[in-house]
């Protein structure tokens, strides 16, 4: 992710990985043409050869003739024209045809990403992945460095809410020097498990976050929660950080909101405790799908089984939304599904009113929201969720996405 942001890529091709891997997801969110998991790309491609990378169809063309080149240039121009049209929606209301206001926020990785979020008309930062401040470096960021990064984001958003996820290291995000690699990193010491096991690192981050809360609307988001005791220990750690700041005479927001990521099925099945203890929820669909279906999303051998529309996945999402709505606490989706046009009406029909996605996806989602009548899509969304046959489910989703067009 950091390399993508620091260098300009026309596109890329890899031998390894799957369409659901983190690399592929990042490429899609940044609108970078990419094809992953070709296995023998290096054997097929020579230095300085001309390539056409059609990331939408998964097609790689080596040394195209002029006719093919002209056709794909025409397609590229159409895509660029469509992006230009979407910019007109930047200041438009994010509301459905029947008047329901929908919150559209942005996911960011680094403070400089705020500019793109503002340009897309985001109503806030729904997910600031703070672990990117820790990657590609030999040392840990000190409290003051972290504080300045968080404060910069809050100041740049000019009063809009900023949700900062605490350190989510492990799995596909490892600090220089390792230390987190286990036999199965996705199921190992990662995210809140790592933070609770490394209280000094966690306390440093919590103090920096709390200090930044004095400068704007910060919310703290805790990743990978599964157990009630993890919530209790996290809230105790926050209270400890507050006490340390009190001793130092440093101001912070004593009412800062604390939310939890719903990305482990156990969390989605323990919502009663979550909604009593936390101020808001955020559904991380990428990991929720992976864990619910027991699929390694970096393994292209099982990529075809990674199904966001699986009834079990949709039921976990729907019951999380329903539990949050019943408890009258905010709930958002911040995984890839939030920026997937084919899932927008489905999520709206399941009761979602808050989406957070990469800024490059936001205006297209806003257009889809503005084309949607909630009264028309709600019943069909529930039919999609209940349907077991994947082909029938796809037909129902296609019908749902044609409604009110």
Q: What average pLDDT does the segment 291-313 reach?
A: 90
Domain ranges of the chain: 2-85, 92-402
Is the pLDDT at 5 greater than 70? The verdict is: no
Q: Is 195 a catalytic residue?
A: no
Rounded to whole angstroms, the Cα distance separating 153 from 28 reads 24
Beta-carbon contacts of residue 105 (< 8 Å; ≥ 6 apart): 122, 123, 124, 125, 126, 127, 161, 163, 332, 354, 355, 356, 357
Residue that wins the pLDDT comparison between 355 and 11: 355
pLDDT digits (tens, 9 = 90+) for 216-253: 999 999 999 999 999 999 999 999 999 999 999 999 99
Q: For residue 109, how many other CB atoms are within 10 A of its CB? A: 20
Question: Which of 7, 22, 84, 227 is labelled catalytic?
Answer: 22
Task: Give the per-residue pLDDT at 259.
Answer: 99
Q: What average pLDDT does the segment 271-295 reach?
A: 97
CATH code for the domain defined by 92-402: 3.20.20.60
Residue that wins the pLDDT comparison between 42 and 205: 205
270-to-70, 264, 325 alpha-carbon distances in Å: 55, 10, 15
Read off the pLDDT band of 26 (50, 70, 90).
confident
Question: Which of 304, 334, 358, 399 is labelled catalytic?
Answer: 334
**Cα angle 135, 296, 34; round to 5:** 65
Task: Give the per-residue pLDDT at 179.
Answer: 52
Task: Give the per-residue pLDDT at 325.
Answer: 98
Task: Give the per-residue pLDDT at 165.
Answer: 98
Lowest-pLDDT choice from 38-42, 181-185, 365-369: 181-185
Q: What average pLDDT does the segment 185-199 reach?
A: 92
Most confident listed range (27-31, 221-225, 401-405): 221-225
Is the pLDDT at 164 greater than 60? The verdict is: yes
Q: Which fold has domain 2-85?
A: Glucose Oxidase; domain 1 (3.50.30)
Task: Give the per-residue pLDDT at 353.
Answer: 99
Q: What is the 3-state secondary structure (H, E, C) of the chain?
A: CHHHHHCCCCCEECCCCCCCCHHHHHHHHCCCCEECCCCCHHHHCCCCCCEEEECCCCEEEECCCHHHHHHHHHHHHHHHHHHHHHHHHCCCCCECCCCCECEEEEEECCHHHHHHHHHCCCCCEEEEEHHHHCCCCCCCCCHHHHHHHHHHHHHHCCCCCEEEECCCCECCECCCCCCCCCCCHHHCCCHHHHHHHCHHHHHHHHHHHHHHHCCCCEEEEECCCCCHHHHHHHHHHHHHHHHHHHHHCCCCCCCCEEEEEECCHHHHCCHHHHHHHCCEEEECHHHHHHHHCCCCCCCCCCHHHCCCCCHHHHHHHHHHHHHHHHHCCCEEECCHHHHCHHHHHHHHHCCCCEEEECHHHHHHHHHHHHCCCHHHHHHHHHHHHHCCCHHHHHHHHHHHHHCCC
Q: Is 22 a catalytic residue?
A: yes
Task: Give the per-residue pLDDT at 56.
Answer: 86
Task: Give the per-residue pLDDT at 4.
Answer: 66
């Amino acid at each position: 992710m950091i390399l993508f942001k620091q260098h300009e890529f026309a596109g890329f091709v890899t031998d390894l990985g799957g369409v659901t891997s983190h690399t592929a997801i990042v490429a899609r969110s940044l609108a970078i043409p990419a094809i992953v998991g070709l296995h023998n790309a290096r054997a097929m491609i020579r230095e300085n050869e001309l390539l056409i990378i059609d990331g939408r169809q998964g097609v790689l063309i080596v040394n195209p003739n002029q006719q093919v080149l002209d056709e794909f240039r025409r397609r590229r121009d159409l895509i660029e024209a469509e992006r230009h049209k979407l910019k007109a929606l930047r200041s438009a209301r994010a509301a459905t045809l029947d008047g329901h206001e929908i919150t559209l926020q942005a996911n960011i990785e680094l403070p400089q990403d705020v500019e793109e979020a503002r340009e897309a008309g985001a109503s806030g930062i729904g997910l600031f992945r703070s672990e990117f401040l820790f990657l590609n470096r030999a040392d840990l960021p000190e409290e003051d460095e972290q504080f300045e990064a968080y404060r910069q984001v809050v100041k740049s958003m000019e009063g809009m809410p900023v949700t900062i996820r605490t350190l989510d290291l492990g799995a596909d995000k490892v600090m220089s020097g390792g230390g987190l690699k286990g036999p199965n990193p996705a199921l190992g010491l990662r995210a809140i498990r790592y933070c609770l096991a490394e209280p000094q690192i966690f306390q440093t981050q919590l103090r920096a976050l709390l200090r930044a809360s004095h400068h704007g609307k910060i919310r703290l988001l805790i990743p990978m929660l599964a157990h009630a005791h993890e919530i209790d220990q996290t809230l105790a750690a926050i209270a400890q950080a507050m006490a340390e700041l009190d001793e130092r005479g440093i101001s912070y927001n004593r009412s800062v909101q604390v939310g939890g990521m719903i990305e482990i099925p156990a969390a989605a099945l323990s919502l009663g405790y979550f909604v009593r203890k936390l101020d808001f929820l955020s559904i991380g669909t990428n990991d929720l799908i992976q864990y619910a279906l027991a699929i390694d999303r970096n393994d292209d051998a099982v990529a075809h089984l990674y199904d966001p529309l699986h009834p079990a996945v949709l039921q976990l999402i729907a019951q999380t939304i329903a539990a949050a709505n019943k408890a009258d606490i905010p709930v958002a989706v911040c995984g890839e599904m939030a920026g997937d046009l084919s899932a927008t009406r489905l999520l709206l029909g399941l009761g979602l009113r808050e989406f957070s996605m990469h800024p490059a996806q936001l205006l297209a989602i806003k257009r889809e929201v503005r084309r949607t009548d909630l009264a028309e899509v709600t019943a069909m969304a529930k039919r999609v969720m209940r349907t077991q046959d994947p082909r029938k489910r796809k037909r129902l989703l296609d019908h749902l996405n044609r409604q009110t067009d």
